Structure 1
Amino acid sequence: MYDRLCTDLCASHPAQAVLAAYADRLDRFPLEHCRSAMGRYLLVTDKADSMEEAQRLGMGSVLADEQFGTHSLLPHLAWVDSPIPDSCSLFLFDMGNVVVKNITMLGKIARGYRLDREEFFADYLHYEFPLMEGVLRSAEYWAHVKDVFGVEVEGDPFFDAFEPVFNDEVVTVIGALRKAGKRVVCASNTIEAHWRILESMGALDLFDEVYASHLMRTTKPSRNFFEMILHREGCSIADAYFVDDHEPNIQRARGFGLASLLYADKAGRTASERLASAFSSVL
């Protein structure tokens, strides 16, 4: 997702009517002064060579063709959150860094076993999604760590190092939504060890239903993850709203029409401000 827009369209181009709504975050391309990192810029253009140049610079780009409109931009804008649909009957909340915080654990594990932090993190990334999809068990991963790093692992560090705490402002919103008669479910990428802790602390009891990647055998941001939940809930994508802290998950969800809120401090807006703005009607 992106923090700023830029364009090389002429003033009379029809797309300028759409871009006018974002004038405070719009720069001319080529850029003379960068107000953000290049990778946080999205170029709107009708020129193939400009799109190639944007790619070379590490920028994103959108083609301003006859189908271009606000819908072409919204999935990509980090500072704009989708409004809650009037017909919304289902709210999906991510768990980690949304409903609960203090979820980081890899650093603790690396320190506890005196592992090289960068090497351990890089290795873990190869196994993160198999763990979250439930196709790789924790014991199998720690056996791998023993082979690669030569350390004897006791118990399950994923369980021992995981110490989540409730995020009160999100818990309050979930409670208010359910009190207002709305259905609220959890939609989480997680692993079995963490799910046991979340269950024991009562985090799962906050919801009408919970959906965990390691049980579903699929993860965000795949479309299948969301479609499985919507199918089980009997809800159309137009009548749902999704809250998550991870940009790729939000961008993907918005890309196929799921209204979403990025619960993160991004592009000059805090997570708390975003939450309060979106859910002002129930707070």
Structure 2
Amino acid sequence: MRLSFLRSIGYPPKNGGKVLAAPLGGRGESRVFDMQGTCRVDVLLFDYGGVLAEEGFREGLKAIALKNGLDPDAFFQTASEWVHASGYVTGKASEQTYWRHLRRETGIQGSDADLRREILDRFVLRDWMVRLVRVLKEAGVRLAILSDQTDWLVQLDRRDRFFQYFEAVFNSFVEGRSKRDSALFDQVVGRLGTAPSEVLFMDDNPGNIERARSRGLETILYRDRRAFLADLVRFCPFLEASVS
């Protein structure tokens, strides 16, 4: 299977709800394929950082560590645990509390705004993923986001305007639970008004994938673009014409 999504699929769809697929490698005639019966599940549920976008939290924290002469992996582990332990990721503590604790525990320097910028600047939407989401939305597929994020997610949307593609955005900061709590998946499925088996959850964290699977959701562990598209085609066969 040759996966070249951006080169092979035409957007926006034309011809009354059909997608015009450009020829692979510039050879052959374009094909038109129907988008009816698009996916084998009701909802595609995307993680944000690490799936829709580059993982800015991890990379930003590692950059902060390097600027402060700290071991990046050790600092990332400390900062990741504290975003949960402090309650910041579930809306029970403020950003100020989060950074104040990290300064006290690790000695890092910088204002809240400067530290935040190191992280947010590294959350970069993947162009090919945005293109994919647009095609799925145009095909009538239900799309949602489930992210362990903070109030930063709204700031990221103000910058990049990606909420518009999704019917629902579930942010741990608002929901009061993170993906470390399996009950969050029940909560989200209930809000979507469907069955767990009708939701395909995509995340780059194996623990999150395992917890979602334990609650009956279909899952894809994001590893890289090629593997992700190959996995997604199993659930949304109409995409096969554009990636094979």
Distance 1:262 1:199 in 2: 28
Superposed displacement of residue 207, structure 1: 1.2
Match of 2:68 in 1: 113
> Could you tell me how far apart the structure 2 residues matched to 1:217 and 1:224 are?
11
SS of the aligned residue for 2:220 comes to strand
> 1:139 is matched with which residue: 66, 90, 96?
96
- Closer/same/farther in 2, CA of residues 113 and 91 from structure 1, 3 Å limit: same
Alignment of 1:260-279 (within 5 A): 260-265=219-224, 270-279=227-236
Root-mean-square deviation (CA), in Å?
A: 2.5
CA displacement at 1:173 relative to structure 2: 2.6
Note the alpha carbon deviations across 1:255-283, whole angstroms, 9 max, x for none: 221111112149xx733433455434134
* Distance change (3 Å), C-alpha of 1:101 and 1:109: same
Q: What's 2:45 paired with?
A: 92
Report Cα offsets for 1:36-74 as digits up to 9, x if no partner. Answer: xxxxxxxxxxxxxxxxxxxxxxxxxxxxxxxxxxxxxxx
TM (normalized to structure 2)?
0.70
| Structure 1 unpaired stretches of 5+ | 1-83
Which has the bigger relative contact order, CA under 8 A and spacing at least 6?
A: 2
Structure 2 distance, partners of 1:255, 1:117, is 32
Percent identity, please.
Answer: 24
Q: Secondary structure at the match of 1:156?
A: helix
**Structure 2 counterpart of 1:259:** 218
Q: Which runs of 5+ in 2 are unaligned?
A: 1-37
Which residue pairs with 2:178 in the alignment? 219
CA apart distance, 1:202: 1.3
For 1:165 and 1:271, the matched residues in 2 are separated by 18
Q: Deviations over 1:132-174 (max 9, x none)?
A: 2122222112212332334443133452112222213322332
1:189-228 correspondence to structure 2 within 5 Å: 189-228=148-187
Structure 1: how far apart are the matches of 2:219 and 2:191? Answer: 19
Higher percent of residues as helix: 2
Residue identity matched to 1:140: T
What is the CA-CA distance between 1:197 and the residue it aligns to? 2.0
1:8-39, Cα deviation, whole Å (9 max, x unpaired): xxxxxxxxxxxxxxxxxxxxxxxxxxxxxxxx
Instruction: Name 1:229's counterpart in structure 2.
Output: 188
Residue in structure 1 matched with residue 143 of structure 2 by the alignment:
184
Whether the aligned pair in 1 keeps the contact of 2:144 and 2:167 (CA below 8 Å) is yes
* Structure 2: distance between partners of 1:218 and 1:208: 20
Letter in 2 for 1:127: W
Provide the secondary structure at the position in 1 that maps to 2:96. helix
Structure index of larger Rg: 1
Q: SS in structure 1 opposite 2:48? A: coil
- Alignment correspondent of 1:80: none
